[in-house]
Structure 1
Amino acid sequence: MKRIVTVQRHLIETQHLNPDATGKLTAMLWDLTIAFKIISRAVNQAGLINMRGEEGQINTSGDSVKKLDRYAEDVIYNGMNHGGHVCCMASEEEPQLITIPDQYQKGKYVLTYDPLDGSSNIDANVSVGTIFSIHHRLSESGNGTLADALQPGNRLVAAGYVVYGSSTMMVYSTGNGVHGFTLDPSVGEFLLSHESFQIPRKGKIYSVNEGHSSGWDEPTRRYVEYLKTPEAGPYSGRYIGSMVADVHRTLLYGGIFMHPRDYRRDEHFGQGKLRLLYEAAPMAFLVEQAGGIATTGDERVLDIMPTDLHQRVPLVLGSPADIETYQKFMLEARA
């Protein structure tokens, strides 16, 4: 009989690998999984419970807020603000640091998250997801501070994402490899389906929005054109437009995911589009834990010290061989 491992069991077994573990991180991650189940149910029923469409507001990033964005935000906040695990939170949907109500104990962790990545696609039934990451707080006690949230990815203690698609899958790492769990709706549990998986050394898929190619730098354009030649493979282009879904496929099948600088977009000229805290750093952490590489094109994503809660960066991640080839194109252009 196949061994059945729930996410709770896996969290406890992983906790035992660290002799100094207190169980607080395990409890925090367990609380998060409950929030993910609630969001998954809402995503699956969105067309039946008036959860599609826009709420009528614009968030800090300039995106139109969908009804499911707000719902997912509220579920995570209300699920995590009272357990005594976090001192503060930061969300892609909120302009400022999220404080913990006075009546609740303040914990030793900081939670940052994108409650519903790819929500612009939800009305078309395209896969969407949640991204999260966890740091130790820097301050001693009490309410968390902005400095607690503005930490580089190389200090992460855990990160993960959830894909809400044909099935709901949670992928996470606490620094001991990357593990995937599929939600079994018949029992309401996330069950281990992908244990300690590694990204392939080289892939045959590239994932990038080529509609923005006129705004890329020259080496990036030349690299993508190279991928279409017989010399390179050729590669197949696959781009969903939901970061969680595109990165998830890249982790499983290998290849390269790109969100390069776009020099024609005035609102974030040359900065990149993805948020460092909520998207780039957590995904970079997972990709590196799976044996891959994540870079901005200039530097390792996990080494970037954030200066703003909504700082944007370019992002290129994927299989080691594919990223190394991309980096050669960038280096040749600078020579």
Structure 2
Amino acid sequence: MQLLSSFLKHNKTDDDLVEVIEVLMIACKEVALQLREGALAGVLGTSTLTNVQGETQKKLDIVSNDIIKKVLLDNRLVRGVASEEEDEPVWGDRDGRFLVTFDPLDGSSNIDINVSVGTIFSIIEAPKPWAKQETEEFLQSGRKQIAAGYVLYGPSAVLALTTGKGVNMFTLAHTGDFILTEENVTIPKETSEFAINMSNRRFWEPAMQSYIDDLIAGAEGPREKNYNMRWVASMVAEVHRVLTRGGIFTYPWDNRDPSKPGKLRLMYEGNPMSLLIEQAGGGATTCYDDILDVQPEHIHQRVSVALGSIKEVETLKAYHREGKKN
């Protein structure tokens, strides 16, 4: 058995980065405990609050955010954090090396029905020279991430992590340790499985409509093979399935609010998940360009997302290139 910390050190991961990842996992273990106790801990249900996106917060959204924020800001290496649940970044040690962004509880609409949810995180270096603690420090493209991952709270709690040297998975043991259970995760290049919220079809671009219609047409359609559809409404669960057995997950732009380029958040969801997928040999796109190349303009920026098996992602992009020409 190889513990998370020893695995990272064996692979010559920066000692400071190892410390921040370990601290973050302390917080995730507490979130896992809160989730496991559920109604017994009085944390289920909806609060009376809304977040910066205007979404009603679940009680566990708030609890998870507070746990992760406090644990990170207590660490000397963390200069600041930005959360999907916070209006603005929250600052810690002025001399800290790292900035951390996170979605404390992705898929929280599933909490009350006991379906998998998760914590998504991204770690970047604070820019130098350090001056004032300003939001602009966080506005770095996804290529600048030095670590990213998620913890899936399902039948078991699983950490999927990259530090830029591939993707590895660790399972939370009864001892409270994350133990290596899968090394060098690789996504199959081809797939016959897709995940999308079909109820939004009428709002998509014609290119996305055509692409999904052709998948549904199966062996009798232009793709000449049958596809299965999945939808959990938890990005962590969807991406975990892709990393585990391949597939494509997409949450595209739709015309209900044309001013927004997508529903998912670039900094808290798009960037960390895209880095994981690329490090596992997959692709991640806005349907037109690589997500990791998007230059963020604000910390709550949204983005269209399509990620997964590389050949399927390239096919989806081809549909959109053709659609743009027409």
What does the per-residue CA deviation read over 1:172-200, in whole Å, with 9 as the maximum and x for residues that have no partner? 10000000011112x11111111111111
| Match of residue 26 from structure 2 | 34
Deviation at 1:9, TM superposition (A): 1.1
Supply the AA of the counterpart residue of 2:181. S
State which of 75, 78, 99 in structure 2 corresponds to 1:83. Answer: 75
**Whole-Å Cα distance in 2 between the matches of residues 331 and 105 of structure 1?**
45
Counterpart code for 2:64? A
Structure 1 distance, partners of 2:133, 2:248, is 36
Q: For structure 1, which segment, 138-147 or 108-117, has the greater mean C-alpha deviation from structure 2 after superposition?
A: 138-147
Q: Measure, in 2, the Cα distance between the counterparts of 1:236 and 1:124.
A: 24
Deviation at 1:141, TM superposition (A): 3.2
Q: What is the match of residue 112 of structure 2? A: 123
Change (3 A) 1:270 1:93: closer
Contact residue 87 and residue 143 of structure 1 kept, 8 A: no
Question: Amino acid of the residue matched to residue 32 of structure 1?
Answer: L
Q: CA deviation at 1:66?
A: 0.9
**Amino acid in structure 1 at the alignment position of 2:17:** L
Map 1:177-192 → 2, pairs under 5 A? 177-185=166-174, 187-192=175-180
How far residue 255 of structure 1 moved from its aligned partner, in angstroms, is 1.4
| Paired position in structure 2 for 1:216 | 204
Alignment of 1:1-335 (within 5 A): 4-14=1-11, 16=12, 21=14, 23-100=15-92, 104=93, 106-141=95-130, 144-185=133-174, 187-228=175-216, 229-230=218-219, 231-263=223-255, 265-266=256-257, 269-335=259-325
Question: CA separation in 2, counterparts of 1:193 and 1:132?
Answer: 20
Unmatched 5+ stretches in structure 1 = none
How far apart, in 1, do the equivalents of 2:224 and 2:319 lie? 13
Instruction: State whether residues 87 and 142 of structure 1, in contact with CA within 8 Å, keep that contact through their aligned partners in structure 2.
Output: no
Q: Secondary structure of 2:249's partner?
A: strand
The separation in 1 between residues aligned to 2:191 and 2:46, in whole angstroms, is 37
- Please tell me the root mean square deviation across aligned C-alpha atoms, in Å: 1.3
Q: Identity across aligned pairs (percent)? A: 38
For residues 204 and 13 of structure 1, the distance between their equivalents in structure 2, rounded to whole angstroms, comes to 37
Q: How far apart are 1:245 and its partner, in Å? A: 0.3
Structure 1 pair 315–51 and aligned structure 2 pair: CA distance change class (3 A): same
What TM-score does the superposition give when structure 1 sets the normalisation length? Answer: 0.93
CA apart distance, 1:82: 1.8
1:11: how far off?
A: 1.7
Q: Any unmatched runs of 5+ in structure 2?
A: none
The 3-state SS of whatever aligns with 1:94 is coil
Contact 1:106 1:142 in 2 (8 A): no
Provide the secondary structure at the position in 1 that maps to 2:38: coil
| Structure 2: distance between partners of 1:76 and 1:295 | 29
- Report the 3-state secondary structure (helix = DSSP H, G, I; strand = E; otherwise coil) of the residue aligned with 1:129: strand
Number of equivalences: 321
Deviations 1:186-242 (A, max 9, x none): x11111111111111111110000000100011101111111220442110001000
- Which whole-Å CA distance do the structure 2 matches of 1:285 and 1:145 have between them? 25
2:72 & 2:192 partners in 1: Cα distance? Answer: 40
Mapped partners of 1:81, 1:106: distance in 2: 12
- CA apart distance, 1:120: 1.1
Shift of residue 105, structure 1, vs aligned partner: 5.7
